[in-house]
């Protein structure tokens, strides 16, 4: 009995120590991280009364995800700059944020040591240890995925992530009175229930985006990435190309493709059939100077039939984006205005690269790559 009591006391002490460690050092509200360079702003065309696409390329760091309030403040600063420039035209403005802008809400409310970690592996390990019972349960019940630790981490935070994603982008769209393409977020089997985003922890993860209306509510349906890249395929599932929707807005019919989807001709089928004239493509290219390396061909699926295989290793990643993604493919499908916007910043050690690509009056326009936040306004002709 004495040994049993000792073991129970030791276990209780360990649990108490873990609990105190887990709840300590959590920031509640912090100032957004400063941009490393002045905000760059560009405009294409002139106002014709038809509205505009607004490509918002924020500069984001882990600090910006300490709380949903902090992230909202950071993103609002870019919309405010666009407002000050006279670029917000009410419901006829469609503001587009990059892929994964919502995904790093996985770090929201976590310990300062996770936010300040030198690398994403250490940060996510800290998050997992902070939620150890839930993490272990999710690991034990993970589906057959190559990276069950990533699946477990995102699914255990899914409900809070979904709520914060809806709150942040709903508040932004309502405050500024514009449509907002809310980048993307990784969630388990997301759906709209009574107009609100709901998830099913334990279900397969997908990379999804949502269009928010000027009233702050999500415009159905949700958009699911159909062509995840190799790294994403280790813990997320693909959507169906036939379910890629288009949206009727006061600015025109909008097609929304998430990052790699814009490389595949079959992803444009619904857009073409619905007569879409506008396109938004939120994207993320991981790794500093990733756009300068030789292009390695399609990632996650076979090259499209129209790809010149001689371009593999000959083009840079940047050149391949311009030859085989949205700015090349969309005009051939009747899209006269489009933006492809990339997430930039320093999220732990992930790095980032890329610059806004646009279609204006059916012509491709590439902005220069800059280590700064940029806003590119494209007036609809």
Give the C-alpha distances (Å, rounded to integers) separating 334 from 160, 278, 327, 378. Answer: 39, 9, 12, 17
pLDDT digits 0-9 by tens, 164-219 = 999 999 999 999 999 999 999 999 999 999 999 999 999 999 999 999 999 999 99
Residue 221 has pLDDT above 80, yes or no: yes
Residue 9 has pLDDT above 80, yes or no: no
Give the separation between CA 173 and CA 95, rounded to whole angstroms: 9
Q: According to the model, what pLDDT value does residue 95 have?
A: 98
Residue corresponding to tokens 């035209």:
89
What is the chain's percent helix, strand, coil content, to nearest 5?
A: 40, 25, 40
pLDDT digits 0-9 by tens, 77-92 = 999 999 999 999 999 9
Among residues 265, 264, 203, which one has the least CA distance to residue 237?
203
Among residues 373, 374, 375, 282, which one has the least CA distance to residue 60?
373
Name the maximum alpha-carbon separation found in the chain. Answer: 84
Residue corresponding to tokens 């800059």:
370
From start to end of the chain, where are the E strands? 40-44, 52-57, 59-61, 93-96, 179-181, 185-188, 191-193, 196-198, 205-212, 218-224, 246-249, 252-256, 278-283, 285-286, 337-342, 344-346, 352-353, 357-360, 363-366, 374-379
Q: 256, 280 in Cβ contact below 8 A? A: yes
**SS3 of 358, please?**
strand
Residue 2 has pLDDT above 70, yes or no: no
Whether the full predicted model's pTM is greater than 0.75, yes or no, is: yes
- Contacts (Cβ under 8 Å, ≥6 apart) of 308: none
**SS3 of 248, please?**
strand
Q: 70, 32 in Cβ contact below 8 A? A: yes
Residue 8 has pLDDT above 50, yes or no: no
Give the separation between CA 94 and CA 219, rounded to whole angstroms: 13
- Segment 329-353 shows an average pLDDT of 97
Pick the CATH number of 36-105+160-379 from 3.40.640.10, 3.30.420.40, 3.30.230.10, 3.60.110.10: 3.60.110.10
Domain ranges of the chain: 36-105+160-379
β-partners of residue 352 are 286
Sign of the torsion formed by the C-alpha atoms of 303, 362, 90 and 357: positive
Among residues 356, 381, 350, which one has the least CA distance to residue 368?
356
- Segment 341-363 shows an average pLDDT of 97
Residue 27 has pLDDT above 90, yes or no: no
pLDDT digits 0-9 by tens, 256-268 = 999 999 999 999 9
Query: Order of strands across the sheet with 278-283?
Result: 246-249, 252-256, 278-283, 337-342, 357-360, 363-366
pLDDT digits 0-9 by tens, 285-332 = 999 999 999 999 999 999 999 999 999 999 999 999 999 999 999 999
């Amino acid at each position: 009995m004495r040994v049993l009591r000792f073991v129970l006391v030791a276990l209780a002490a360990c649990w108490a120590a873990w609990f105190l460690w887990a709840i300590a050092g959590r920031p509640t509200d912090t100032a957004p991280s400063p941009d490393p360079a002045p905000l760059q702003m560009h405009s294409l065309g002139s106002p014709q009364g038809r509205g505009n696409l607004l490509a918002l390329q924020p500069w984001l760091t882990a600090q910006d995800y300490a709380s949903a309030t902090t992230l909202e403040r950071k993103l609002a600063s870019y919309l405010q700059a666009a407002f000050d420039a006279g670029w917000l035209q009410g419901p006829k403005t469609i503001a587009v944020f990059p892929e994964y802008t919502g995904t790093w809400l996985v770090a929201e409310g976590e310990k300062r040591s996770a936010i300040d970690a030198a690398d994403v592996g250490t940060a996510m390990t800290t998050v997992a240890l902070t939620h150890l019972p839930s993490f272990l349960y999710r690991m034990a019940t993970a589906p057959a995925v190559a990276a069950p630790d990533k699946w477990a981490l995102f699914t255990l935070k899914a409900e809070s992530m979904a709520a914060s994603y809806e709150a942040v982008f709903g508040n932004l769209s309502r405050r500024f009175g514009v449509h907002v393409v809310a980048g993307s977020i990784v969630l388990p089997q997301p759906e709209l229930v009574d107009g609100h985003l709901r998830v099913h922890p334990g279900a397969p993860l997908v990379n999804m985006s949502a269009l928010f209306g000027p009233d702050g509510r999500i415009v159905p349906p949700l958009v699911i990435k159909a062509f995840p890249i190799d790294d994403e395929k280790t813990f997320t599932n693909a959507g169906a190309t036939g379910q890629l929707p288009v949206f009727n807005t006061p600015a025109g019919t909008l097609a929304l493709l998430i990052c790699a989807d814009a490389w595949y001709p079959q992803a444009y089928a619904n857009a073409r059939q619905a007569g879409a004239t506008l396109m938004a493509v939120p994207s993320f290219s991981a790794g500093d100077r990733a756009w300068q390396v030789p292009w390695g061909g399609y990632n996650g699926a076979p090259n499209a039939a129209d790809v010149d295989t001689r371009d593999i290793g000959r083009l840079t990643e940047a050149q391949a984006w311009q030859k085989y993604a949205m700015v090349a493919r969309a005009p051939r499908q009747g899209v006269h205005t489009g933006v492809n916007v990339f997430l930039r910043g320093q999220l732990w050690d992930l790095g980032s690269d890329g610059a806004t690509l646009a279609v204006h009056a059916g012509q491709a326009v590439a902005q220069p790559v800059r280590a700064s936040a940029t806003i590119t306004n494209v007036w609809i002709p």
